[in-house]
Amino acid sequence: IRLPESNTETEVPLSLGSAGVALDAETQVSQIQQALVNNLHWVQGKDEQFANAHDYYTALAHSVRNQLLKKRIRTAKTYAEAKAKNVYYLSAEFLMGRQLGNGLINLGMYDTMRHALADCGLDLDELLEREAEPGLGNGGLGRLAACFMDSLTTLNLPAIGYGIRYEFGIFTQLIRQGHQVEAPDKWLSYGNPWEIARPDYRVEIKFGGHTEVYKKDGDDDYQVRWIQAQTVIGIPHDVPVPGYGTDNVNLLRLWKAEAGEAFDLDAFNAGDYFGAVANKMISENITKVLYPNDETRQGKELRLQQQYFFVACSLQDIIRLHLRDHSNLGNLAEFSAIQLNDTHPAIGVAELMRLLIDEYSFEWAAAWQITQRTFGYTNHTLMPEALEKWSVDLFGKLLPRHLEIIYEINHRFLAQVKLRYPNDPDRLERLSLIEEGGERRVRMANLACVGSHAINGVAALHTELLKQEVLQDFYELWPDKFSNKTNGITPRRWLLQCNPRLAQLISETIGDSWITNLDDLKQLEAHLDDEAFRHAWQAIKQENKWSLARYIHDAVGIEVNPDSMFDVQIKRIHEYKRQLMNVLHVITLYNRMVQNPGDHVVPRTVIFGGKAAPGYAMAKLVVKLINAVADVVNNDPSVNGRLKVVFLPNYNVSQAQRLFPASDLSEQISTAGMEASGTGNMKFALNGALTIGTLDGANVEIREEVGADNFFLFGLTTEQVAACKAVGHNPWYYYDTNPELKRTLDVIASGLFSPGEPDLFLPILDSLLVDDPYMVMADFAAYVQCQEHVSRTYEDRDRWVRMAILNTARIGKFSADRTIADYAREIWKVKAVPVAGE
Ligand code: PLP
């Protein structure tokens, strides 16, 4: 490693990528090298001879962060001077992925940095791999929030993302003897160079205790105050969020819980030192760990504490910022749009009411108007069991004042409903914020609907189903509140960064405007008949497959054939997503090979990735089945490499970035009516994979865009699923009438995949044959038939490549830039505030 001598400035003198600073290449390279050595010496206290790759990564990350902070300072100043309206995106999850590569790309420094590092003997790719992934989300919902942050900044919209700085993110998935085992995600072990703690913006959050009525000095009116039992401090940790081709830098502000100032002085004074420290630990537990999505999450007290904690911290921060630029809170809604990413932050409705009424002495009616005008609510699920409800007892214990406020909101709301529907007690019961009968519970979706001026679904089908089913009563009451905002993905991370070869080919062919105007990809259609272009396209896919093959070999020791079709299903493991149907198809292919070894087959590599919630037994059993089938199929000499099955452990954003570019076939096979949108489906198509899918979520719109001829459709529609269930779905019928399906289930029952444990997969067979709630049996034949069509099409490589190009060319609608522009115009009413270049 050859670096210059350090100089005595502790500040890194890097000034690349800034508009207006035209340094020659040589100067840029030497500045980067100087910045690295300075950081090693003066920030990390290391000599370059002893520095390891991680130290270099840290030095590089600090250099990039400094660039971002410089822009951030100017951005904050510009926004404040403009007195601009801000978006506050409240989300319990932000699945940001690694920051360094993205930061370099957005700053326009990627190539220069690679060159500068290579010049002194360092490999950028190797350093990028040193970054721990911040896995502060479960899957689609958290990743959506991350894509939105990228687009908000790219569009120069003033925004802050508010969330939780979990000390442990989504668990690390290990596979042991084919079973999923969870390990803690210690992503902060080596520090986090991207964040800056802001103890100066600390806030105090109350929990528990009771409320009391009192009279303010010199005032005739009664007020209520909340006498808490516990105080927790929220410390914001700021992560700068760059956009592409802009000097604007927005913030992701994540809250960490710490014990109250004089934490339990009483205990200290009583000599109970250990008791006092234990209390400190209880406070700090609030932001300790991300809850994995699972069926039993409801009722978890710590989760309600997390939700309230980050929302209450964020609202205090929003109010502080508002009062810094405006004289009072009366015009809060004119300058702030707060978006609730699902119901996780819905307690914000009650908290803003509490702040306005109890702390800022607003009348109820005025407070309510401000609250409703400020909030928007995005629904993410159609599954009734996933709608959050909290027991009234728990709520009252943790947030006594909020429960009173929710009762009052409910009282006023139901009085209004009664006027409109005088003789409809059932409707009143359904709309109530409180679920009666059995344990009384607060319905967070109802609170979000009542407290927001806008309610949206995340794909056209999803929004329609919301109106007809889950939120039907609210839709009838307030049709104008409802709109659709089909999800999108950022083309920066999901093409430019993850698939540099394809990005370069596209830019060489049509220019690079697609990076911020994804619809421009349409221009690729004009090159469809250009043979050289198609060859180049195919060669890139092939190279990406080779590099994934090497990764698979390193990760799990399986040799795969890069010339085979890469058939990929990567997403959380859930019954409705039907990984099980995919494995049943694999077993069917295997059976055919065993039965008719001489038959011609199109070679496939079927790749799975995804985490099962730790408490979700059926999903974990599916993981085991995939691995068990892989063991048999991959080691059977009669298969002769024509079929391989791979389960890649620990699916996360970094792995996703390797997988999408190398995929041929995208599996989007959820039961119709169950996937709200999906965003993985968009990432595959953007990278030129063809979809096999049902008419579910955004698949419907993807198929409309890319054309029915370029999409492999199969399966029951939402209406057919409902009709089938209404007359009584009988899975045995399919078992008895489809010999291949029967054989597939019989092979599982025979114990072939569970030697020594013949009953291991019985719960799976039971679920399929007893009630088959996800209609796997009903859709199986259509799926297998469609897969045969896929294989035949794949044999005609030229046709396949044309279809792939058309998928990429026509996917522009699914840019998160479009989604965010729609939110900005129709819900938030915010305008761009571009920061002037240096
Ligand atoms: N997890 C990760 C790491 C992702 O990148 C994505 C989306 O692209 C998802 C989960 C969501 O996948 P899907 O929309 O297929 O459920």
d(CA 754, CA 747): 10
- In terms of Cβ atoms closer than 10 Å to its own Cβ (0-12, 13-18, 19+), residue 824 is buried
SS3 content of the chain, % helix, strand, coil (to 5): 55, 15, 35
**Residue 20: per-residue pLDDT:** 37
Instruction: Assign residue 772 a region (left: φ > 0; alpha: ψ between -120 and 50; beta: otherwise).
Output: left
Q: 682: CA distance to ligand 1 center in Å?
A: 10
Phi/psi of residue 739, nearest 5 degrees: -60, -35
The response to whether residue 578 sits with its C-beta less than 6 Å from ligand 1 reads no
Give 698's DSSP letter: T
How confident is the model over 444-465, as a mean pLDDT?
Answer: 98
CA distance 117 to 469: 56
Q: How confident is the model at residue 263 (pLDDT cuts 50, 70, 90)?
A: low
- b/e map 153-163, b = 16+ CB within 10 Å: bbbbbbbbbbb
Q: Could you list the beta-strand ranges (E) of 737-828.
A: none
Going by CA atoms, what residue is nearest to atom 2 of ligand 1? 139
| Residue 48 CB neighbours (<10 A) | 18
Confirm whether 572 is a catalytic residue.
yes
Q: Which of 31, 60, 55 is nearest to 45 (CA)?
A: 55
Q: What is the pLDDT of residue 132?
A: 97
Task: Determine if ligand 1 sits within 6 Å of the CB of residue 143.
Answer: yes
| CA atoms of 661 and 258, how far apart (whole Å) | 42
CB atoms within 10 A of CB 52: 10
Widest CA span of the chain, in angstroms? 95
Any ligand 1 atom below 6 A from CB of 139: yes
**Confidence tier at 262 by pLDDT (50, 70, 90):** low
Within 632-731, strands assigned E span: 643-648, 665-668, 690-693, 712-713
Partners of 569 in the beta sheet?
Answer: 608
Catalytic residue among 85, 98, 380, 467: 380
Residue bearing the CA closest to ligand 1, atom 5: 653
What percent of the chain has pLDDT above 70?
96
Residue 176 CB-density burial (10 A; 0-12 exposed, 13-18 middle, 19+ buried): exposed
- Mean pLDDT in the chain? 94
140: helix, coil or strand? helix
Rounded mean pLDDT, 357-374: 97
Atom of ligand 1 nearest to the CA of 655: 3
ipTM: 0.94
Ligand 1 mean position, distance from CA 724 (Å): 29
* Ligand 1 touching residue 242 (CB < 6 A): no
Burial class, 135, CB count within 10 angstroms (exposed 0-12 / middle 13-18 / buried 19+): buried
Distance, in Å, from the CA atom of 136 to the CA atom of 505, rounded to the nearest integer, reads 33
Report CA(680)–ligand 1 centroid distance (Å).
5
Query: Can you tell me the distance from the alpha carbon of 567 to that of 364, in angstroms, rounded to the nearest whole number?
Result: 57
Least confident residue range of 78-82, 382-386, 776-780? 382-386
Tokens of 336: 């702030």
pLDDT over 90 percentage in the chain: 86
Question: What secondary structure does DSSP assign to 345-366, as a single string?
Answer: TTTHHHHHHHIIIIIT---HHH
State the closest ligand 1 atom to the C-alpha of 95, by its place in the atom list counted from 1: 3
Sheet strand arrangement including 712-713: 643-648, 604-609, 565-570, 665-668, 690-693, 712-713
Query: Is the per-residue pLDDT at 281 higher than 90?
Result: no
Active-site residue (options: 462, 585, 683, 810): 683
Between the CA of residue 230 and those of 352, 406, 631, what are the distances in Å?
A: 20, 21, 53
What pLDDT shows up at residue 12?
Answer: 46
- Reading the block at residue 698, the tokens are 């955004």
Q: Is the CB of 715 under 6 A from ligand 1?
A: no
Query: Rg (Cα) of the chain, in Å, rounded?
Result: 28
Written as six digits, the tokens of 769 are 């044959």
**Would you say residue 230 has pLDDT above 60?**
yes
pLDDT at residue number 8: 57
Mean pLDDT of 658-680: 98
User: Per-residue confidence at 9, pLDDT binned at 50, 70, 90?
Assistant: low
Distance in angstroms (rounded) separating the CA atoms of residues 75 and 319: 19
Q: Which residue has the tokens 């399929």?
A: 768
Rounded CA-CA distance 243/375 in Å is 25
Q: For a pocket test of ligand 1, which of 96, 136, 143 has the largest count of ligand atoms closer than 8 A to its C-beta?
A: 143
Cβ(256) – ligand 1 distance below 6 Å: no
Total Cβ atoms within 10 A of residue 582: 23
Query: Quick check: CB of 574 below 6 Å from ligand 1?
Result: no
For residues 529 and 706, give the distance between their C-alpha atoms in angstroms, rounded to a whole number: 17
Q: Nearest residue CA, atom 14 of ligand 1? A: 678
| DSSP designation for 192 | -
**Ligand 1: does its nearest atom lie under 6 Å from the Cβ of 488?**
no
- Predicted pLDDT at 25: 73
Confidence of residue 264 (pLDDT cuts 50, 70, 90): low
